[in-house]
Structure 1
Amino acid sequence: MNEMIHKMEQHVSVRKYKEESIPKDVVERMVQAAQHAASSHFVQAYSVIYVTDQDLKVKLAELSGNRHVKDCAAFFVCCADLKRLEIACEKHGTEIKHEGVEDFIVATVDASLFAQNLALAAESLGYGICYIGGIRNNPREVSELLHLPDKVYPVFGMTVGVPDEDHGVKPRLPVAAILHENGYDEKKYDELLNEYDETMSAYYKERSSNQKNVTWTESMSSFMSKEKRMHMKEFLSEKGFNKK
């Protein structure tokens, strides 16, 4: 396989970084490359906040519950953004129709595609990254700190820096578990999930840190049986998203 595919298959979440900065021109080049992600109807409904102020990084680390936010070389908050489109509409005397679920989905997907391109750009340059979903733990406070207006919400953060840890790639589900040909087939899951449980059980026991005795389905059953960030529905409505 080619170098790009090899790089994609080597992805790991990096939470410990060396005290090395990333030149601003490199940051701008990574962002520029990330902008070439696909975008529905070319709306480009995303923005990214590049956080350089250390005090602000410390506050965001506390709000997200991720201490490595304050220690990384570069921290980004990727946002779904309909505000810029609203301004575009105003330039032509039209009113944006943004309150439906579809526009919320489009903006969220656009932000996610941009972010994954940003991750690939960073990793291609030898940096490590980690997505920070904890940004949604306290979205109102994050929005206030970053001056996010209505019609803009923080989807997740991303830490970037020179890795100061080296741990193995976590095994993914078998391709057969996620690749369905000509229609969805749930009958294959019993066998495939049993196989994957064996793989992940061995991985969790043998990895270099945070060893545990658990299977993937056990871990997921515990995680998925709990309510998560129930404040998000009200928050998104306050921001002007997903009202209809």
Structure 2
Amino acid sequence: MKSLADLIEDRFGLKTGAGADMPAEGELANILSHRSHRRFKPDPVADDLLEVLLSAAFSAPAKSDLQQSGIVIVRDPEKRRTIEALMPEMPWIAEAPVFLVFLGDNRRIRRVSELRGKPFGNDHLDSVLNAAVDAGLVLMNFIRAAEAVGLGCCPISVVRNHIETVSELLELPDHVFPLCGFCLGWPAGAGHVSLRLPPRVLVHTDRYDDSGLEAEIDGYDARRSARYRIPDEKQRLVGEYGLAQDYGWSEDKARQVSKPERTQLAKYLRDQGFKLE
């Protein structure tokens, strides 16, 4: 019988005794087996089921119970087509039966303050962070709920590359911003488990310590490439950096972040009424 230790090995590519005596079942097994899906069956997601998932999503923790998150269900065909056209390299947006946009919503609490005749005394950068974290927690709860009933999910962070257009399309008012898009549907395939960085890189005790990072990254690259080697045609920025013989995760991500992206976010947030000081 498969154990949680087996699932941990699948996730990190490293042997462990943790969870060896725990069967691979239940919520922990579902979490450890998480995978994103980008191919969907055409079958619809019932409205009642979507309501259940949304209820589960908003059962997530919220900073000080302020509940600064929201979701837009994009049902209008023309709005869907507009969003799809912004990201043509992601055909799964068009294929997913359901497309959502998760929001950070700092507007609601400001309105509550006004309704109750109180000043809003936290008009600074933390307003953005609190709303973003609340929305992220709701996002993760939604994923857990969707996967529990066999649905597939794919968050779309590239929405923030087009944040002004998406905000205008969805008529987002001041102090509300899109965190990410989200594809939801019944998976057309099994998907695959993405190998993650080893816990010893991610978890620290008493102090932050990345003194062994170079060796850990080299080992991670090797394990990940052994499972799935990035083909030459998917190497990034070949014209600038050349075709690498050893193109692993770290080379791919270093190339990805070498180019500025979303430099408009601070201006966008200020235009949405946020103060970032």
- 2:229 touches 2:248 (CA, 8 Å); kept in 1? no
Residue 218 of structure 1: aligned partner: 251
Compute the TM-score of the two structures, normalised by the length of structure 2. 0.82
Per-residue CA deviations over 1:31-87 (Å, capped at 9, x if unaligned) read 101111111101110110011222211111122443322221111100100111111
1: CA distance, partners of 2:86 / 2:249: 28
| Alignment CA distance shift 1:43-1:199 (3 Å) | same
1: CA distance, partners of 2:160 / 2:230: 32
Structure-to-structure mapping, 1:1-244, within 5 angstroms: 1=22, 2-65=25-88, 66-205=90-229, 214-244=247-277
Mark the runs of 5 or more structure 2 residues left unpaired by the alignment: 1-21, 236-245
- 2:99 touches 2:182 (CA, 8 Å); kept in 1? yes
2: CA distance, partners of 1:73 / 1:49: 15
- 2:97 touches 2:184 (CA, 8 Å); kept in 1? yes
Equivalent position SS for 1:95? coil
Deviation at 1:113, TM superposition (A): 0.4
Compute the TM-score of the two structures, normalised by the length of structure 1. 0.93
- Which structure: larger Rg? 2
2: CA distance, partners of 1:226 / 1:206: 20
Per-residue CA deviations over 1:117-149 (Å, capped at 9, x if unaligned) read 001111111010001011112111111111110
What is the percentage of aligned positions where both structures have the same residue? 28
Indicate the larger mover: 124-133 or 223-232: 223-232
Equivalent position SS for 2:100? strand
2: CA distance, partners of 1:243 / 1:99: 8
Deviation at 1:228, TM superposition (A): 1.0
2: CA distance, partners of 1:64 / 1:45: 27
Equivalent position SS for 1:138? helix
Equivalent position SS for 1:78? strand
Letter matched to residue 171 of structure 1: L
Deviation at 1:206, TM superposition (A): 8.3
- 1:79 touches 1:156 (CA, 8 Å); kept in 2? yes
Deviation at 1:211, TM superposition (A): 7.3
